[in-house]
Amino acid sequence: MTEKSQENTVLIGTKPVMNYVVACMTYFNAGSNNVILKARGRATSLAVDVVEVLRRSFIKDLEIKKINIGTEELKRYEGQTANVSTLEIVISKPK
Amino acid sequence: MTEKSQENTVLIGTKPVMNYVVACMTYFNAGSNNVILKARGRATSLAVDVVEVLRRSFIKDLEIKKINIGTEELKRYEGQTANVSTLEIVISKPK
């Protein structure tokens, strides 16, 4: 987790791919250089989809700066914990 | 796709996580330095799980050498094509 992680972060959930693609485009059009995509569990495959749609259809020279994987601990109802995998992709649009 | 991609490759599908963890351990125990995990579509989140289980429970100093994402074209029945996202993780066990 970097210091910049609060800005330009798109959290990938259960919405359609295009929602997240539009969110990234909005950040880039507002002048951001980097956008960070964060996903957990099954949504990780969606994060990859978002980057691929962006690269293939919207920003041809999109750069994938970094891909991190990790584990997060989720607290369940009765104090149980579950481990869930996380994926973080940093993408960048050259000026 | 590198030249070495044929060796030490574990294709992630729909089996339980531990099957793939064991497959990786088998490669490492046979003397391999690198193991390549490949997954498509929804299995990509499973690939991340496999790496995290390996790192947390089996090989503490596991190194993630490279993570690649991409798109593959699948042929459907009537000549239609579908794009599917791919994830490739290269992991390495220090000697």
CA dihedral B16, B18, B21, B25 (to 10 degrees): -140
pLDDT in tens, A42-94: 999 999 999 999 999 999 999 999 999 999 998 888 888 888 999 999 999 98
B62 SS3 class: coil
Retrieve residue A60's tokens.
């041809």
CA of residue B58 relative to chain centroid, distance: 16
Domain ranges of chain A: 3-92
What is this structure's pTM?
Answer: 0.86
d(CA A60, CA A27): 16
Q: Give pLDDT tens digits along chain B (95 positions).
A: 444 444 799 999 999 999 999 999 999 999 899 999 999 999 999 999 999 999 999 999 999 999 999 999 988 888 888 889 999 999 999 87
Q: Which of A42, A44, A46 to mutate to test the interface with B (most CBs of B within 10 A)?
A: A44
pLDDT score for B62:
94
d(CA B22, CA A59): 39
ipTM of predicted assembly, 2 dp: 0.82
pLDDT score for A2:
43
Q: Does A56 touch chain B (CB under 8 A)?
A: yes
Which chain A residues are closer than 8 Å to B69 by Cβ? 48, 51-52, 64, 67, 89
Q: Which residues face A87 on adjacent strands? A: A39, A69
A35 SS3 class: strand
Pick the residue from chain B with its C-alpha nearest to A40.
B45
Which chain A residues are closer than 8 Å to B45 by Cβ? 41-45, 85, 87
Pick the residue from chain B with its C-alpha nearest to A63.
B69
Q: In CATH, what class is A3-92?
A: alpha beta
String of DSSP letters for A5-27: GGTTEEEE-SS-HHHHHHHHHHH
B7 C-beta neighbours (distance < 10 Å), count: 11
Pick the residue from chain B with its C-alpha nearest to A56.
B71
